[in-house]
Structure 1
């Protein structure tokens, strides 16, 4: 009889009361799968312990770290399915060396994150936070001093034109904005077809009325948005970051906002999360803040869960899953039984 394929979910999916904080994430597909069992791992720690990794064939991971130490005894483990697209909490080279595939869920986050970016952009341009405070503080008749900015005819700048950037372009098209994108890996033909002009980063910062950061955090993009680039922005321009905090030099951004050198910013991510209680950003009235959760909706929860679980079911069935971060791991003897998907699958 074949051994049961064991799947573990990190315990940070659960609230203190023991329910799944994300709501519906598609777990019925695991429950109904033959030859497979699943549970929440018995460790609620910042790093997945080695003894836990050794007990499972696949892990679905939210925030805990998967390190080299995690994988030192993981002879059985074949998959780490990250619930989301960021994987800075996973040691990718160690996964590859251990014969463990890492997958992410770009299909789950694409639309929710793009909608969150659009929501934050429009909230800034329409000064929603300011107008809410006018009502709450009895300043109703000051509303003429808080005129918003229409997106029509303005320039939307996308720093990164990958999975999320392309979706933002698509859902923003009816707003009548001219679109620019800075991304050395973007397909010029696809950009032209979408009505997006490709340019370098400096031109993007000089011309855009709203800049949305969507690129991945890498060694090359760390502090890509620095004091020099912020100085290129129009004083009427806005910055939205829904990617990763360290892409923006937060100290430089705080100074630019405090000195009113740009009109405002909306941040779902920070250099340090959560920010310190005395962080200068928290006292500014021209910044809109969210706790790395602007895109957290029922759509994102189910989309991420379905995508991660699909990867688990593929590996359990002997198939190579989609959205593999480290395809080099397929050369490991442990993964040799996996077969590529057929064209019809």
Structure 2
């Protein structure tokens, strides 16, 4: 990129209108103009019209899908920066073929596991219903469930799953885990018992999902898996919505075959109006806020600025393609 060419830089997916004030974007003033876009994702035609004039686009997680069809219609785009070092919504191969560099950022390793544990606690102690009842004049709606001595099942013992296991162990829970690549030795390193898939679902009082979404993991929590769970068990998902068969989970919740679910991620985001997850009384749903903390965003945006400046200087960093 020539240092004499001013850049048009779009910071998209700024749904909460916070990007402009969390970090100092003025460092980019010598190389171009920064525009903040707050709209939700749209269809390809609208996105083309919205983004076609930008040289650099900064994307937040997987909110906007940059597939081949969209990338081919963005002739000005030379650098796409995503928060985090993975983004399944970007066609990395297509970007490379089109001469578009893709860079990532670091991330807060504690935000998602902390939210996971907040959801576990809120779900098992019925905090949403109890708090809402108190505000409307009520008092003590039901019975919570103590976690001590119960079993947390972890589907995917990666970086997040291992942190969640430590939280569970601090609460006196037994921790078990399974994934296709997990071994008993690796599980033991985190003080976790390795079990097979069937046992994971059958023994878990709380099942927490922490797999990476892939064709192998898509729908892995299916009707048969849910049917193995205890009637009093809970499901928590802060990973990706499609890892769970949504229709099967809705059916299990409606028929009270499991006690409840806490969900931060969904097949379609934002979650459509009228979706069952918005109305089922045994669902605690949050709007994909696992990474939505001041610390995470500040790190994302500051690294985006670094990525753009390094790329503009001809010394790109944190490249994904």
Q: Quote the RMSD (CA, aligned, Å).
A: 3.2
Distance in 2, Cα, partners of 1:293 & 1:14 = 12
- Tell me what 1:100 maps to: 100
- Tell me what 2:257 maps to: 261
Shift of 1:214: 1.8
Q: How does 1:193-342 map to 2 (within 5 A)?
A: 193-322=189-318, 324-325=319-320, 329=321
Distance in 1, Cα, partners of 2:294 & 2:145 = 30
Distance in 1, Cα, partners of 2:127 & 2:160 = 24
Cα deviation code 1:62-110 (max 9, x no counterpart): 33332324433767755321135663432222112223343444x4243
Shift of 1:122: 0.6
Cα deviation code 1:277-300 (max 9, x no counterpart): 443333321110112235422122
User: Structure 1 258/310 Cα, relative in aligned 2: closer, same or farther at 3 Å?
Assistant: same
Q: Secondary structure at the match of 2:250?
A: helix
TM-score (norm 2): 0.82
Cα deviation code 1:227-273 (max 9, x no counterpart): 10001111121101112212111221112112221111011122233
Q: How does 1:1-345 map to 2 (within 5 A)?
A: 2-4=3-5, 6=7, 8-13=9-14, 20-22=17-19, 24-26=21-23, 28=24, 30-32=25-27, 36-40=31-35, 46=42, 47=44, 48-49=47-48, 52=51, 55-56=54-55, 58-62=56-60, 63-72=63-72, 77-84=77-84, 87-105=87-105, 107-140=106-139, 143=140, 146-186=142-182, 190-322=186-318, 324-325=319-320, 329=321
Distance in 1, Cα, partners of 2:73 & 2:247 = 41
Distance in 1, Cα, partners of 2:90 & 2:80 = 9
Mark the runs of 5 or more structure 1 residues left unpaired by the alignment. 330-345
TM-score (norm 1): 0.77
Mark the runs of 5 or more structure 2 residues left unpaired by the alignment. none
Mean alpha-carbon deviation: is it higher for 92-101 or for 129-138?
A: 129-138
Distance in 2, Cα, partners of 1:79 & 1:188 = 42
User: Structure 1 274/73 Cα, relative in aligned 2: closer, same or farther at 3 Å?
Assistant: closer
Q: Do the aligned residues in 2 keep the contact of 1:50 with 1:71 (CA within 8 Å)? A: no
